[in-house]
Amino acid sequence: MNGIEIQNEGKLFHFNDYVISGNSIDIDRLSNSIILGNGLADKLLANVGDVVQVATINGEVFPLRVVGLYQSGIQDLDKTQSYASIATVQKLKGKPSNYITDIQIKLNDILKAPLIAKEYGHLFEIDAEDIQTANASFETGSFVRTLISYAVGIVLLIVAGFGIYNILNMMIYEKMNTIAILKAIGFAGRDVQKIFLVIAMSIGFLGGLAGLILGFGLSELIDQIPFKTASIPSVKTYPINYNPLFYVIGAVFSLITTFLAGWFPSRKASKVGTVVIIRGK
């Protein structure tokens, strides 16, 4: 059982978003009240308004009224955890009003957590654990998934770049007469190279823009699909991340890929000799 200050818990850690039944503020307004984890409530066959008997390690039994059900999304925790006011838990343990076991600190910059934890641990001579250490296994899994998704995206862009390269390469062979005419009327090799680069960049720009619009449209469509799971009660539809950074990365990669795919064929076209083309014909 965790004793919490419900006002600060809701403000700093969005506790109320995970209360699926009842009113969390009641643990402050009503004495001897408790919020049960949803899994624990199922095991006890308890619901909001029921009274549960809580036994302490000293053998004392206290009746507490259930005023809410909590679902964090982690089933192992929801089957074992419950929440009450700090005063209620202090009374259950027979401790004074200044008895506190844990303090959670929310930072504006989460990346500073390891450094601040070490500083507080040394300053106050306590055990201070940062969120990165506490969630190391989750962070590792998240990093691997992100790495795989980026790797797949880059490979797809490279494959698309080879496709554009082949298209431009074939275009050069088909436009040999045109290249010869351009050079015969005074176009330099650099001018011919610019023409094919413009063609490549046009493909990259228009194709990238169409892809981004199509991707955004599909994301909007997927975002409307109902998604219900007991582990994440606050999510009602398939979660989609609309971070503009992803769209910027896609646009930049499409332009870079098409530029490289067009530069090599255009360089080849700029070096084609007019006389060689005419003799070949």
Q: Is the pLDDT of residue 26 over 80?
A: yes
By DSSP bridging, strand 51-55 and strand 19-22 are unpaired
Q: Residue 232: which pLDDT band, with cuts at 50, 70 and 90?
A: low
Q: Is the pLDDT of residue 35 over 70?
A: yes
pLDDT per residue as tens digits for the range 76-133 = 788 888 999 999 999 888 888 888 888 888 888 888 888 898 888 888 888 888 888 8
CA atoms within 13 A on the CB side of 114: 6
Q: Which residues contact 187 (CB under 8 A, 6 or more apart)?
A: none
pLDDT per residue as tens digits for the range 238-279 = 888 888 988 898 888 888 888 887 787 777 777 766 666 666
- The number of residues making up the chain comes to 281
Domain positions in the chain are 2-102, 108-132, 136-280
User: pTM above the 0.75 mark?
Assistant: no
Return the structure tokens found at 185.
């009327």
CB 106 within 8 A of CB 131: no
